[in-house]
A and B are shown apart, each in its own frame.
Chain A
Amino acid sequence: MRWTEDLRKEPLLEIRHLKTYFYSDEGVVRAVDDVSLNIGRGEVLGVVGESGCGKSTLALSILRLIRPPGKIVGGEIIFDGNDLLKLSEEEMRKIRGAKISMVFQDPTSCLNPVFTVGSQIEEAVILHQKLKGKERLAKVIEMLRKVRIPSPEERYKNYPHQFSGGMRQRVMLAIALSCNPDLLIADEPTTNLDVTIQAQVLSLMKDLQREFKSSILLVTHNMGVIAKMSDRVAVMYAGKIVEVADVIPIFEKPYHPYTEALLRSIPKISKIIERLESIPGVVPSLVNPPPGCRFHPRCRYAKEICKREEPPLIEIEPGHLVACHLHK
């Protein structure tokens, strides 16, 4: 409840009716289709969904990193009182990396192999802070120490290939946090890592978030990571947000049939499950999504109205929003 109250007062980021479409040969892919979402100050918001549901596009849209054939065709993204979609490219560059930064899924392809790790952290510092010479180097080493790279005074001279996967992701975190951003967008930050390394990175992220007091938008398909990290959760399906709530109600009392089915389809280690429930069918194409509620062809509770009318996202309990005809 705490988060919802804070949010009403003063959201850090407000996404209103965002639409990001990709104009492909096969038609218009509505990757993000009329999405509204708030992120509070200091909050960790988890965005969960299956591949192709638009969660990464949503994350990239916030930083305006959508490339053609993709385009943000509508909506507003209010950050600190300004609509990011109305800023010039120059103004946007001052926000990227400084106020909003991002960590991607694959740290190997994000780091430049021909520059040292130190110089890549330094780059972010040069762009957004007025530190010189020794101070700048001290900052780089401090960042490496904060992300728990052993002997940072030596390691900053290393190249990315001398680091392991988990360490590279920590370097990405160091770059992202070097300018103390208000919002960190983490897009599947631990998906490529082994579980024990994932545990290292997740606990590091949690500690850093407490230290830097940044908000985090955590995009992942892993319900376990969501449960561990988030304060609030938004569930996406086929370009739409179907449910938003604080983390405990989402897991204990999901209202949307998709959230419910998703939770029942994952095996757990703390419970013995004889048979998992599976969701019939496949994720629909975003070029030609089903009419009405996009989940209706796979929904076990689907009624006549679900095929015709799109359910709006409405608040059915304080802070708990659901887009479903069953709950009104």
Chain B
Amino acid sequence: MKKEKLLEVKGLKKYFPVMAGVFRHKIADIKAVDGVSFDIKEGETLGLVGESGCGKTTIARCITLLYMPTEGEIIYRGKDITKMKGKELKKFRREVSMIFQDPYLSLNPRLPIGEIVGEPLEIHGIAKGKEKDKIVMSLLREVGLEEYHIYRYPFAFSGGQKQRIAIARALALTPKLIIADEPVSGLDVSIRASILNLLKELQRKHNLTMLFISHDLSVVKYMSERIAVMYLGKIVEIAESNKLFEKSVHPYTQALISAIPEPDPTIRKKEFIILKGEVPSPLNPPSGCRFHPRCPLAMPICSKEEPKLKEVENEHLVACHLAS
């Protein structure tokens, strides 16, 4: 059975202007996301992985319309969300929610948990007062917290518990799509596993669709059915999770996988693929393939022509001249 596409991103671009001079005129653009296309099918988790500054978070913020895309379409259930207005937009916002990286910053320290988790219910006119508290309590139970926690303030909770509260808030409106932006990066290893498991369970139970963003490939692998690898504002490879690890095609994906120190000392002789240099600035990305200055397999064509994202096998897309 072929699952239906819940969200389709087509040619998404987001540029941030760089201003300078007395009159703050625009001198350049930071091309944070520069022509990205992918889709997420209903009930699936798509992992989005890449190093810092590659544009992962910008994509997340475009999908939730926290940023207005510079160009491109984001199609949710057949409709372009960038053109939505009024009631339609409000309905979309109900169906999509986001979990942020830092629960210390994403929870208002002056509000009790009941208000934090219940706020979306009030905004969307779903429940108020006692009824709202009841829903909040059941949400808290669902994420592994206690009912009486609704009267407490965020400072009374540990990092892992705070992230649970953020998850409860994200679930309050029974969303269809969850955007999780590095939800476990700020947590300790022993806490991380329980949050990942919770997200997996909730996803199964509510048949949620998820975009799971992380810089950690092993976490993304654990969570996702398919993985998209980003480099400097572009997607370089998308494949089914296991396939990506067994048969990655793009040299960047290969280097990224090999760079992860695996917690197994018996395979430590396996040498890293050491990339030259660092990620270039998105202000002035390299010509042609953006990875070519660091690519161990670069050919003359790579600096001239930009490779397109093409299907090399069923459901396996690669943007590399070597693959074509």
Residues of chain A having any CB pair with chain B under 8 Å: 50-51, 164, 166-167, 194-200, 202-203, 221-230, 247-248, 250-252, 261-263, 265-270, 272-273, 275-280, 282-283
Q: How far is the CA of A272 from the CA of B222 in the complex (A)?
A: 8
Q: What chain B residues lie within 8 Å of A248 (beta carbons)?
A: 265-266
Contact of A226 among B242, B257, B263 (CB under 8 A): B263
Across the interface, do B259 and A195 meet the contact criterion of CB distance under 8 Å? yes
Which of chain B's residues 180-220 have a Cβ closer than 8 Å to chain A? 188-194, 196-197, 200, 215-219
Across the interface, do B51 and A262 meet the contact criterion of CB distance under 8 Å? no
Q: How far is the CA of A276 from the CA of B221 in the complex (A)?
A: 12
In angstroms, how far is the closest chain B Cβ from the Cβ of A5?
A: 19
Q: Is B131 an interface residue (CB 8 A)?
A: no
Across the interface, do B188 and A283 meet the contact criterion of CB distance under 8 Å? yes
In angstroms, how far is the closest chain B Cβ from the Cβ of A8?
A: 22
Q: How far is the CA of A322 from the CA of B163 in the complex (A)?
A: 33
Q: How far is the CA of A103 from the CA of B255 in the complex (A)?
A: 26
Most chain B CB within 10 A, of A198, A268, A277, is at A268
Q: How far is the CA of A194 from the CA of B252 in the complex (A)?
A: 13
Across the interface, do B259 and A278 meet the contact criterion of CB distance under 8 Å? no
Q: What chain A residues lie within 8 Å of B217 (beta carbons)?
A: 195, 269
Contact of A272 among B160, B219, B242, B265 (CB under 8 A): B242
In angstroms, how far is the closest chain A Cβ from the Cβ of B276?
A: 9
Across the interface, do A227 and B263 meet the contact criterion of CB distance under 8 Å? yes
Q: Is B275 an interface residue (CB 8 A)?
A: yes
B contacts with A: majority SS: helix
Across the interface, do B197 and A269 meet the contact criterion of CB distance under 8 Å? no
- Take A50-B188, A50-B189, A227-B268 as given contacts and tell me if A222 and B274 are in contact as well, using a CB distance cutoff of 8 Å: no
Q: Is B267 an interface residue (CB 8 A)?
A: yes
Across the interface, do A196 and B193 meet the contact criterion of CB distance under 8 Å? no
Q: How far is the CA of A273 from the CA of B273 in the complex (A)?
A: 25
Render B44-55 as a binary contact track against A, CB cut-off 8 A, 1 for contact.
000000011000
Q: How far is the CA of A320 from the CA of B193 in the complex (A)?
A: 27
Q: What chain A residues lie within 8 Å of B158 (beta carbons)?
A: 282
Across the interface, do B51 and A195 meet the contact criterion of CB distance under 8 Å? yes
Given contacts A270-B262, A278-B194, A282-B160, 8 further A-B contacts (CB under 8 A): A164-B278, A194-B279, A203-B272, A223-B189, A262-B190, A270-B267, A272-B242, A276-B196
Which of chain B's residues 246-277 have a Cβ closer than 8 Å to chain A? 255-268, 271-275
- Take A265-B190, A269-B221, A276-B222 as given contacts and tell me if A166 and B278 are in contact as well, using a CB distance cutoff of 8 Å: yes
Q: What chain B residues lie within 8 Å of A226 (beta carbons)?
A: 263
Question: Once A and B bind, how many residue pairs between them come within 8 Å at the CB atom?
Answer: 128
Q: What chain B residues lie within 8 Å of A276 (beta carbons)?
A: 193, 196-197, 222
Q: How far is the CA of A195 from the CA of B278 in the complex (A)?
A: 11
Q: What chain B residues lie within 8 Å of A273 (beta carbons)?
A: 222
In angstroms, how far is the closest chain A Cβ from the Cβ of B156?
A: 13
Residue of B nearest to A282 (CB): B158
Q: How far is the CA of A226 from the CA of B268 in the complex (A)?
A: 10
Q: What chain B residues lie within 8 Å of A198 (beta carbons)?
A: 259, 261
Across the interface, do A268 and B264 meet the contact criterion of CB distance under 8 Å? yes
Across the interface, do A199 and B194 meet the contact criterion of CB distance under 8 Å? no
Q: What chain B residues lie within 8 Å of A199 (beta carbons)?
A: 258-259, 261, 272-275
In angstroms, how far is the closest chain A Cβ from the Cβ of B92?
A: 32
In angstroms, how far is the closest chain A Cβ from the Cβ of B290?
A: 14
Q: How far is the CA of A263 from the CA of B189 in the complex (A)?
A: 9
Residue of B nearest to A197 (CB): B278
In angstroms, how far is the closest chain A Cβ from the Cβ of B232?
A: 12
Residue of B nearest to A231 (CB): B265
Q: How far is the CA of A262 from the CA of B188 in the complex (A)?
A: 10
Q: Is B15 an interface residue (CB 8 A)?
A: no
Q: What chain B residues lie within 8 Å of A272 (beta carbons)?
A: 242
